[in-house]
Amino acid sequence: MKPRIAILDWAAAHLGDPEATVERAVIGDAADVTTYYCNSDADFTDAIVDSDALIVWHNCPIGAAGIERLRKCRALIRNGVGFDSVDIHAAARCGIPVCNVPDYGTEEVADHAIALALVLVRQLFPLDVEAKKLGWTIPTPEKMRRLSSLKFGVIGLGRIGTATALRAKALGFNVSFFDPNLQNGVHKAIGIRRERTLDELLKLSDVVSVHCPLNAETRHLIAERELALMKPSAYLVNTARGGVVKKTAILAALREGRLAGAGLDVIEDEPLKTAEEAATPNLIATCHAAFYSVESKLEMRASSARIARAAVLGEALENVVNGIRKER
């Protein structure tokens, strides 16, 4: 029998297509490809647990219990950059490589972060509301700023953080970053300033853009204490992972006027749960869509399929994030 590759799509809102046209075009006759709809590993069927590789969309969390049920899985591929929805340690204990697709959507997420920053700094939404009331005043003149007078702080200078920093620099922002994991000299290579502590970055920045993964170290990296360090006139943008920014803390800061605004593509425990949360003043929320474009989605799916094909053929795997390599 041919190997089986299972694509686990989100039952609540399908993100791929049932025929898996992109994946089939890449995998060819190396394996049978089937799409299954799941909300979590509680929905795993016998066909899923007997599959030779899994391609998993981000809205299908997989914990230790689900991973331990997998009987012959040679690779679990997260269809995207983040892999916090998969228990990579449980997968390692079971000898299952977990892979991601870190190089797709870099341009889109960076563009989205800059778009949110510009909408906030130039107050486009309040101006739009005023203009559509048939009015012609400037409702928030004190918030409209010249970009070259502002400091743009980037948390995490990986692929997307670097792309965002370069875009901000090109627009005239004074750009700095904080990333404790980078070697010295990186800031000189791209011509921006390095802050040695997160506290210093938060205190100095007029716009803070978050670009770090979600893990035990970064969960609630931005919470009450950190928000209190920011200027009341500053803006926070998050296109990384919702759990990096504590939701109750950021919403409270906005309601109480301790922060001028926030642009959140990702929100802890997303989506927003109540009308009160949605009515938070000076909040712009988008639907975890920063990664998305027609082009990026095709690139992501093709990359995941390429890794899955390599797995069932016993070839070397790309982008292994849990240290397990299983080759024939």
Chain segment 162-188, per-residue pLDDT in tens: 999 999 999 999 999 999 999 999 889
List residues with catalytic annotation.
241, 270, 288
The verdict on residue 167 lying in a domain is yes
The verdict on residue 320 lying in a domain is no
Give residue 14's region: left, alpha or beta (phi > 0; psi -120 to 50).
Answer: beta
Alpha carbon 285 to chain centroid, angstroms: 14
Q: What is the pLDDT of residue 59?
A: 81
Average pLDDT over residues 28-48: 96
CATH code assigned at 65: 3.40.50.720
- Which pTM was predicted? 0.86
Same domain, 99 and 121: no
Same domain, 20 and 161: no
Same domain, 181 and 161: yes
The verdict on residue 328 lying in a domain is no
Output the six-digit token pair for 119. Answer: 């909408």
Same domain, 21 and 135: no
The verdict on residue 324 lying in a domain is no
- Determine contact, residues 310/316, Cβ cutoff 8 Å: yes
Same domain, 201 and 266: yes
Confidence of residue 58 (pLDDT cuts 50, 70, 90): confident
- Determine contact, residues 156/137, Cβ cutoff 8 Å: no
Average pLDDT over residues 209-227: 96
Please determine, for residue 103, whether its predicted confidence score (pLDDT) is greater than 90: no
Same domain, 196 and 263: yes
pLDDT in tens, 298-321: 999 999 999 999 999 999 999 999
Same domain, 96 and 138: no
Same domain, 155 and 78: no
Structural domain count of the chain: 2
The verdict on residue 218 lying in a domain is yes
Angstrom CA distances, 253 to 206, 224, 249, stand at 15, 8, 6
pLDDT in tens, 284-295: 999 999 999 999
Residue the block writes with tokens 């009308």: 275
Strands 32-38 and 4-10: parallel
Percent of residues, the chain, with pLDDT higher than 90: 91
Same domain, 141 and 33: no
* CA dihedral (203, 284, 84, 307) positive or negative: negative
Could you give the 3-state DSSP secondary structure of residue 277? helix
The verdict on residue 326 lying in a domain is no
Domain hosting residue 226, numbered range: 106-285
Percent of residues, the chain, with pLDDT higher than 70: 99
The verdict on residue 327 lying in a domain is no
The verdict on residue 318 lying in a domain is no
The angle subtended at Cα 264 by Cα 16 and Cα 206, nearest 5°, is 145
Please determine, for residue 264, whether its predicted confidence score (pLDDT) is greater than 70: yes
Q: What is the pLDDT of residue 327?
A: 56
SS (H, E, C) 167-200: HHHHCCCEEEEECCCCCCCHHHHHCCEECCCHHH
Please determine, for residue 95, whether its predicted confidence score (pLDDT) is greater than 60: yes
Same domain, 76 and 22: yes
Same domain, 126 and 274: yes
Same domain, 32 and 139: no
- Determine contact, residues 96/70, Cβ cutoff 8 Å: yes
Confidence of residue 81 (pLDDT cuts 50, 70, 90): confident
- Determine contact, residues 237/112, Cβ cutoff 8 Å: no
Confidence of residue 326 (pLDDT cuts 50, 70, 90): low
Could you give the 3-state DSSP secondary structure of residue 154? strand
